[in-house]
Each structure stands twice: as structure tokens, then as C-alpha cells.
Amino acid sequence: MGRYIKVPLATQTTDGVVVPVGSTVQRPPTPGTGTLRFNTDSNVLEVFNGVEFKNVTKQGTVNITKDTFTGDGSTTDYDLSLAPSAAENIIVFVGNVFQISGTNYTISGTTITFTSPPPDTHTVVVLHGFDSTVVD
């Protein structure tokens, strides 16, 4: 009994592998987990993770943004220069001590709220840019 491939998925050439190409509405109606395609609407590779199509992100250098504040012993809310997509996507230090998201602080839009006010004269440093791999 032989096996036949009706649509070859890849061929060996020196040019590269060509993946399926199409718009968002042209996605397969029941994709299998691991389905890889190029989306012509967003101009990115995407892969189906079993639930939804996710963009295959670029690798490269990203800009890191630093916000600096000085604690006064009573203020718990500080305005950030950027709105992080999640509290886990920033790095926060108070007086050179790393802070844990959800335990030491929360994020709402561009506001960081500490569970305890940073002590008087302690420097608060917030580093952004860890939720993106977009090449600059």
C-alpha cells in the first residue's frame, strides 16, 4: 500500500520554505495545533496554539525606558511614562530592592500603586520594555 501526498508541504530548494499565505479571514476554519502561516493583513508569521492564532514575534533589540521617583513615606501612587501591558512586564526597585508584582505593587494604566509607601528619600526605579520584542 503506498502513500501519496496531494499537496506537498515543503520542498528542498536553496530558496527557502514557502508557508501558506493569506488574510485573517482566509485562516483555515479548523486549524491544527502548530499550523503556521503568513498573515497578509498584519504582515507577520502566525501559529495556531490550539486555541488561537498568535504572532511569531521578531527578535532584536528593544528600547528600555526608565522612570525614577523619590519616595516620601506616604505616597503609594506614581504616574509612569508608559502603560505596561501587565505588572509582570516591568522591573521595579525601591531603594535597590526588587519588588514583586501583585505583592509589592499593582498596575492600572499608567499608575503604579505600592502596597506600602516607599520610604522617605528612597529611590524608586521602574524599567519598561520587557513586554515587547519589536525590533527598532
Shared domain for 50 and 85, answered yes or no, is no
> What's the CATH code of the domain at 43?
2.10.10
Domain count, the chain: 2
pLDDT at 136: 46
> 44: domain range?
1-56
Amino acid at 129: G
Find, among 85, 83, 20, the residue nearest to 53 by Cα. Answer: 20
pLDDT at 63: 79
Shared domain for 114 and 75, answered yes or no, is yes
pTM of the model: 0.57
pLDDT at 42: 84
pLDDT at 75: 97
Q: How confident is the model over 118-133, as pLDDT tens digits?
A: 999 999 999 998 766 6
Q: Does residue 134 form part of some domain?
A: no
User: How do the residues of the chain divide into helix, strand and coil, expressed in percent and rounded to 5?
Assistant: 5, 30, 65
Q: How far is C-alpha 10 from the geometric centre of its chain's CA atoms?
A: 30
Neighbour tally for 125: CB within 10 Å: 15
pLDDT at 19: 83
Q: Does residue 136 form part of some domain?
A: no
Length of the chain: 136
Could you list the mean pLDDT of each consecutive 10-residue stretch along the chain, which spans 136 residues?
53 69 94 91 88 79 87 97 88 93 94 97 92 58
Shared domain for 5 and 51, answered yes or no, is yes
Spatial CB neighbours of 86, under 8 Å, sequence gap ≥ 6 = 101, 107, 131
Q: Does residue 133 form part of some domain?
A: no
pLDDT at 11: 56
Shared domain for 45 and 11, answered yes or no, is yes
Residue 127 contacts residue 82 (beta carbons within 8 Å): no
